[in-house]
Amino acid sequence: QVRLVESGGGSVHVGGSLRLSCAVSKIRSPCMGWFRQPSDGDREGIASIEPRYSSTYANSVQGRFTVSKDTEKNILFLDMKNLKPEDTGMYFCAARSPCSYTGRLLPPTEYKYWGQGTQVTVSS
């Protein structure tokens, strides 16, 4: 069965960096997304990667976060720098297949497969 496993979360101070990873198995060439959910809020899309490695970002993370993937190893990454307290939350990777280019962030309902999440906490 399809499996997504996130790792790399943790606690950092403002301005710090983290790299999240999402190991993907049993699904071919999916479109992938990263979502974030604060403890008191809704899950929101923050980054996605589609065919031809086209990536899209939420305004709140543009210029600070970078999504990439290692196709050979089937791992999705989210490199986060200059972290802010408002970046705190549970981070999820998600996959959808078949994959088609949209050029925009899709809502969580468009993704069928999800990881269990990894917590990121940014303190001042």
Counts for the chain of helices (H) and strands (E), in that order: 0, 11
Summarize pLDDT for 104-122 with one digit per residue, the tens. 999 999 999 999 999 999 9
Angle of CA points 108, 71, 53, to nearest 5°: 60
Summarize pLDDT for 30-85 with one digit per residue, the tens. 999 999 999 999 999 999 999 777 899 999 999 999 999 998 899 999 999 999 99
- Residues near 113 by beta carbon (within 8 Å), at least 6 away in sequence: 2, 4, 27, 30, 94, 95, 96, 97
Say if residue 38 is preceded by a cis peptide, omega within 30 of 0: no
